[in-house]
A and B are shown apart, each in its own frame.
Chain A
Amino acid sequence: MADIGYVSLFIAFVVSLYSAVAYVFSQRKKNLALFASARNGLLLVCGLVTVAVLSLLYSLLTHDFSITYVAEHSNRSLAPAYLIAALWAGGNGSVLFWGWIVTILGAVMALQTRRSGKELMPYTSAVVAVTEAFFAITLITVGNPFVKLGFTPADGAGLNPLLQNPGMLFHPPLLLAGYAGMAIPFAFCVAALINRRAGEEWLNGMRRWALIAWLLLGAGNLLGAWWAYNELNWGGYWGWDPVENSSLMPWLVCTAFLHSALMQRRRGMFKTWSAFLIIFTFTLPFIGIFLERSTQASPNHGFGGDPVQSAVGWFFFWFTLVALFGAFWALFYGKDALKGGTQIEALVSRESTFLLNNVLFGFSTLAVFVGTFLPVILTYINGSQISISAGFFNSVNGPIYLGILLLAGICTTIGWRQASAQNLMRNLLWPAVGALVVGIVLFVVGIRQGYGLVGFIICGFLLLTIIYEWIRGSRARARTQHENVVKAFWGLIMSNRPRYGGLLVHSGIALIAIGVVGSSLFAVTKEVSLKPGDVETLKQYSLVYDRVEQSVVNGKDTLTAVISISADGKPIGQLRPYIREIPKTAIRSTLVDDIWVNMTNPDADGQAVFKMNLNPLVSWMWIGSYVLILGGLLAFWPDLNGERKR
């Protein structure tokens, strides 16, 4: 099977190169037969890489330990779901998976029938084909997942127990699919520049591609946060680790791009800026892979000097340079197409909130980039070694993100072009008053921490502007269409799904922000050694370590601590953190706060080290995540009615 996989990848490399060249010539010579042949090539590559993926999967499922990758990332006792997850658990497997998604999306793109933008297809497809060729050559040279071990061990090394978690089934593939998805809008952009047609067809071709890639990447990051919080025995959900940063940066830039693309579509502005954003969105994950695999930047996620992965990382580095060079050349070549467009007419307008939003996203990305890469760059320049802790990222990004939330709120209520002061005041009045009331109530309740208070007021303001907008819109529609308010609300949302999907995403972000502000500024954490019978308090909660229980679950020794919790003297429940091979955290989660308890290092009498955290409002992060995904899907969902009408 390994040979079939390798040969498929080899052929895929040759065919993708052919496709790229054939596409370019089909455009130059206006040769439709050549275009069709190139397109078939793109489809064939997808088939070939699929064969390679299936053969690796088959080897994993049948425990063919003569293949190094299979021996290193699985064993006989691994559950089938994690045998599948082993496909992306290793360095080479994740490159294969990423490349595979690119070929699938490339094939879908090639098969789509389009009403406009046909003239962009040859170069767009050529760029996708070159990307596919890059993945194929990486996989048949340094990153070959089918390398033979030379002998067949009786069993494989298995998968780290920390990774044997549902998070592993979805978090890496979502991120990789998000990275892969960015290839299509990037290709559209480069093609539009080479064709010198940076108009409507470019944006129509790629808006939904960028949106779905953004959604996949966002969902992947949020799921990673959830996984870290619930399973990784660390107690946090985001650590500003270089690997996390390199999946956050493309997401931030893509968020900025979605907004600037909207401006471009509605008002013909920000063309060059949009092109820059999509170029960085596409290339940042590649440079992130280089950082993760070829440098010593990441203490927690790195492939720590594995020479094979380091070589793969350098391939990604050179491809980043090639992609940037090519894209900037296209930008220069097509610069005339980017000229023109309208200027912002007024300082107080939706346009300027979009502009400011883009600038803030840019600054945030820049800060994350500097904080992530500066230590690495300094090491290369003068050998000096510094490390930058999470505090840097928090202190720079905190105010920037609050600014973005505030802008999102203002933007909801402000009109295009020039907003009249009177109109703006009327729309802002109720949300602003509401947010002020939220602030006063919180202050009275006893929340006096200034930064946190400002954070909650801004989140409240954003949510209220959106709710106010929904109410206003529904009532107006109910009047004009003679519908009841509920039906009118539904009709309103369906009438402009990109807009109301976007607003839903904004409210998801506001809810996530409430969780972040609450859990990062108001958390209580303790690390203590307790004997059975000992009591520890977290604010109003007392946690009594009752006893320890020993059992055998699935043939594995399990040690469970039983902890009774009471709030202000009233018993409210039990937590049972346990150790089975690795510690397993127990969490009591409510909408108000989470009590998070983890046990390590127990002695024979049950005395053990406990990490106990009280994390306020964390649940809102997960609720907000669902709202965000729902909003993204709403905005993405094809407007079938609209298409039929045309």
Chain B
Amino acid sequence: MESYLLKISGITMKKKFIIGGIILVLAVGYLGFMGFRSSASFYYTVSQILAQGDAISDKTVRVSGEVVPGSVEQKAGDLNLKFDVSEGGKTLPVVYRGAVPDTFQEGNPVVVEGSLDAAGVFQAKSLMVKCPSKYEPTVAAPVTNGIN
């Protein structure tokens, strides 16, 4: 009789844990799904985004490419930065407003996040420098255009 009772209570315990587990899985799944919807964006290279045409205008995307040497336009002391990124023989003009990471350099790979406007200019909201390596062997040039 006693063992029978134990068994019954064991099953209900198990049920309680299973119900709790299902609620947890659903909650975390919901969090994950909502997080994914708001945080996932398409990640293109320059040639891929240009091949998309108008289909992705005004959508937030990430684009990777190399900063075209000689294309960087930035007045010292100013927040505005213009440059071209290229990849696969294609070139995309980018404008960005904000502090520029100190590893930003012509010829280096970068990732920009933002959207393509009607004029075909990429309006970048964030600029990430894809360091060729965290342990980059060549010393990065200082960003001291002003005093040099």
Contact = CB atoms under 8 A, between A and B. Distances in A.
B42 A72 contact: no
A356 B28 CA distance: 13
A391 interface: yes
A487 B74 CA distance: 66
10 contacts: A160-B140, A299-B128, A299-B130, A343-B13, A360-B24, A385-B44, A396-B35, A605-B77, A607-B78, A608-B76
B138 interface: yes
B32 A600 contact: no
Given A161-B139, A359-B24, A347 B77 contact: no
Contacts of A157: 137-139
B87 to A, nearest CB: 13
Contact of B77 (A158, A161, A300, A608): A608
A163 interface: yes
B40 A386 contact: yes
A558 B40 CA distance: 41
A301 B42 contact: no
B54 interface: no
Given A73-B135, A557-B144, A582-B140, A603 B43 contact: no
A89 interface: yes
A567 interface: no
Contact of B31 (A359, A395, A582): A395
Contacts of A356: 20
B13 A347 contact: yes
A91 interface: yes
Nearest to A391: B39
Interface string A149-174: 00000000110111100000000000
Contacts of B31: 367, 395-396, 399-400
Interface of A: 72-73, 89-91, 157-158, 160-163, 233-234, 243, 299-304, 306, 343-347, 352, 355-356, 359-360, 363, 367, 370, 375, 385-396, 399-400, 527-529, 531, 550, 557, 559, 579-583, 598, 600-611
A164 to B, nearest CB: 10
Given A73-B135, A299-B111, A304-B131, A359 B21 contact: yes
B143 interface: yes
B39 A392 contact: yes
Contacts of A583: 102, 143
Interface residues of B, number: 60
B9 to A, nearest CB: 9
Nearest to B34: A395
A367 B27 CA distance: 13
B32 A370 contact: yes
A452 B24 CA distance: 22
Contacts of A304: 109, 130-133
B76 to A, nearest CB: 3
A90 B144 contact: no
Contacts of B128: 299-300
B75 interface: yes
B146 A602 contact: yes
Closest 7 CB pairs of A and B: A607-B77, A603-B76, A603-B77, A392-B39, A602-B146, A391-B39, A395-B35
Contacts of A393: 35
Given A529-B77, A605-B77, A367 B32 contact: yes
Contacts of B121: none
A392 B35 contact: yes
Nearest to B25: A363
Interface of B: 10, 13, 16-17, 20-21, 24, 27-28, 31-32, 34-36, 38-44, 48, 62, 64, 74-79, 97-103, 109, 111, 113, 128-140, 142-148
Contacts of B64: 299
Given A363-B28, A579-B143, A385 B42 contact: yes
Nearest to B147: A559
Contacts of B113: 389
Nearest to B60: A389
A343 B79 CA distance: 63
Given A388-B36, A391-B35, A609-B99, A302 B146 contact: no
A398 B148 CA distance: 45
A90 B101 CA distance: 23
Given A304-B131, A601-B74, A559 B144 contact: yes
A627 to B, nearest CB: 29
Given A394-B35, A610-B99, 8 more contacts: A233-B101, A243-B134, A299-B64, A299-B128, A302-B131, A389-B40, A603-B76, A603-B77
Nearest to A579: B144
Given A299-B111, A303-B135, A386-B41, A162 B140 contact: yes
B115 to A, nearest CB: 14
Contacts of B44: 385
Nearest to A347: B16
B138 to A, nearest CB: 6
A306 B109 CA distance: 14
A392 B40 contact: yes
Contact of B41 (A363, A387, A399, A607): A387
Given A386-B40, A603-B75, A609-B78, A598 B99 contact: yes
A609 B140 contact: no
B78 to A, nearest CB: 6
B77 A609 contact: yes
Given A386-B40, A386-B43, A601-B145, A233 B133 contact: no
A304 B64 CA distance: 13
Nearest to A293: B133
A90 B131 contact: no
Nearest to B139: A158
Contacts of A72: 137
A528 B79 contact: yes
* Residue from B34, B98, B128, B137 having most chain A Cβ neighbours under 10 A: B137
Most buried by B among A345, A528, A600: A600
Contacts of B132: 304
Contacts of B109: 304
Contact of B142 (A233, A581, A609): A581
Contacts of B24: 359-360, 363
B20 to A, nearest CB: 8
B104 to A, nearest CB: 9
